[in-house]
Amino acid sequence: MTTTRRLGTRVAMTRTGSLGAGAVVTRTRWLGVVVAVTVVVAVGSTGCAVIPVTGPHSVADAGGGDPLSKPFQRMIAIRPQKGWSPAQLIRGLQAAMAAYPDDPKILPSYLTPNALAKWDPSGPVNVIEDGFEVLPPGPRDGSDAVLKVSLKARWVAKINEDDSYVPTIGDWDGGAFELVKDAEDNYRVNDLPRGLLLTASDVARAYRATNLYYLSRNPQDPRLVADRVWLRLKPTESFAQTILERLIEPPTSALQGGAVTTSFPPGTQVKSITHGDDRVVVNLSGGLDPVRDESLLAQIRYSLNRNEVAKGRTIEVQVDGEVYGLDQPNSDERWLDDSSDTAYYVNRGAVHYLGKDGPAGTVQGPAGEPREGYSGFALSREGDGLIAARTSTGISVAGLTQEGRWQEVIRGADLTAPTWHRDGSLWTYDRQNAALLRYDPAGGGGAQRVTFPLKGLDVTRFRIARDGVRVAVTTGKNTVQIGAFIEGAGGTQPGNFHMLTTTEIGEKILDLAWEDADHLLVLIENKAGQILNQVNVGDGETVGVPLKEALGSLAAQGDRVLAATDDGAKVVELNQDQKTWTAKIESDGGAPLFPLG
């Protein structure tokens, strides 16, 4: 795969040395306009890499000895220098913003008392591309005493106050900087936009994309649900501490409103995290139930291990120094998606099993018989044994047994392909009547309308993730939105929608499929051919998948990605190298599918 959204690489002048406890960093000798020093450190440790002074170059991460930490590069900003031009001052200010969370003392030296009194560092962090340009200033009063300076830059993303990362498109237009001269005839910033402005390399250097794990709302079928955040590395604490401090807080806005819950009661605090060769000890305090809570241990385990922290070690959780529970490295995976990876495909309206090396027989009952006019097939959880399909008059369901019969359960002339929730309910969107419909096979009665915030848009697909929490919706030909099931006035309903990705003008989305609860596969067609992207639904990170031939439909489950060619004849599977495909069926193939998703 090829990653198509990158954070870039910050180029900076550096000095030889290391940054340990009590270290003193001396001022560098200036070569051109150098406004900051990057020092490579490991969070929570005193180990550092030695960086030679050889001019502008890319600085790689250094390894650290602390298994609870992540290596990172710390930005050391300097105060403005005498005689700096407006462009030099703005670049120095931006570097001071990059260093501000670790060292807030430098940035005020760039500001007048007026600006310092008004400027607020809180709010979203704006991220722009590295190669930003400081435009020539324009005078504000007919002289060079008061200047207005703007930036020309591409806006990459914003990091919200809840630590969510939101990709953006277009030019950054966050406002201008007003510069005035001080008593010594040096420029200082008298007015500036609110918040911190970082480059993509600043973010790559000081932040880490992190999955926090919360719980789905169904106590009978608890799942861990990943919430993607971008956490800033701190030189004063281990990354494990940073993760757990954030985990005990509410999830990001994408999963609020009752989409998920947590086993951490209000008031929980992380007192300490220590480690030995084979054990990590997490000491908590607060109103935790004295009875061991397996879900709390699972939240801690996956939030640490899935972010490559404490991996392979026993995690001992304490409450006020008393042992609460042990979590072994080989603990079961039941908290994550347990959906079957049994693969199927549809040929001439009949559903077939897809074995490792090709066709493996048809399913039982009428679903295994050829049938005209049925499309958009969807399988329930394997234990439920139901299949749904769209017809010209509605959605029909059949059991995968010899006694099963097709029965129309939702009527409508213009419905999206059906999708199953892991609770056993069936969903579709009625485009003609702008209504989201839910049918419960176990509840009796017909389909029920569900409150839906996107009903005014041209909804073309509605797909539920296997964890039963997130939903993906396509609107029109080229936009994907992500939401989650929340608690509304009328009960459980989709909400919290935000745009995940959109295509260029002239392109259209041909199909999409949930790969797992965190990633969506999106098949796009343009004049040059097709593009297949894997998109992280938490932060929009997009990875391109090479294509060998044109595809018509997708299905995925974990590591397995299947596709039918656009003529429907072949079924191909993506190999483990994520670059090449192998044909599973050379002819008489059809649309592949997995249970749920």
Tell me which amino acid residue 60 is. A
Residue 54 pLDDT greater than 60, yes or no: no
Average pLDDT over residues 455-463: 94
Average of pLDDT values for 430-439? 96
Over the stretch 361-383, which tens digit does the pLDDT of each residue have?
A: 999 999 999 999 999 999 999 87
- As a whole number, mean pLDDT of residues 350-371 equals 94
* pLDDT of residue 69 exceeding 60: yes
**What is the rounded average pLDDT of the residues 476-498?**
93
What's the whole-number mean pLDDT along residues 36-53? 39
pLDDT digits (tens, 9 = 90+) for 253-265: 999 999 999 999 9
Q: Which residues pair with 134 in a beta bridge?
A: 151
pLDDT at 289 > cutoff 90: no
Axis crossing angle, helix 294-305 with helix 239-247, rounded to the nearest 10: 140
Residue 484 CB burial class (10 angstroms; 0-12, 13-18, ≥19): buried
pLDDT band at 506 (very low <50, low <70, confident <90, very high): confident
Backbone angle region of 415, left / alpha / beta, with phi > 0 → left and psi within -120 to 50 → alpha = beta
Q: Record the tokens describing residue 60, joined without a space.
A: 């790689």
pLDDT at 21: 30
Which has the closest alpha carbon to 64: 42, 88, 37?
42
**Residues in the chain, overall count:** 597
Quick check: 57 pLDDT over 60? no
Measured distance CA(219)–CA(162) in Å, rounded: 26
Taking 90 as the threshold, does the pLDDT of residue 444 lie above it?
no
Q: Which residue has the higher pLDDT, 183 or 331?
A: 183
Mean pLDDT computed over 566-590: 94
pLDDT for the residue 1 = 53
Domains and CATH numbers, the chain: 211-327 (no CATH), 343-593 (2.120.10.30)
Residue 24: is its pLDDT beyond 60?
Answer: no
* Separation of alpha carbons 497 and 370, rounded Å: 38
Mean pLDDT to the nearest integer, 502-511: 90
- Percentage of the chain beyond pLDDT 90 is 70
Measure the CA–CA gap between 14 and 48, rounded to whole angstroms: 13
- What is the reported pLDDT for 248? 97
Q: How far is CA 528 from CA 158, 199, 531, in A?
A: 31, 32, 9
Average pLDDT, the chain: 86
Lowest mean pLDDT, pick from 93-102, 138-147, 259-268: 138-147
| CA dihedral for 516, 518, 523, 528, sign (positive or negative) | negative
pLDDT, tens only, 193-240: 999 999 999 999 999 999 999 999 887 888 999 999 999 999 888 999
Q: Residue 427 forms beta bridges with which residues?
A: 419, 438
Residue 489 is predicted with a pLDDT of: 80
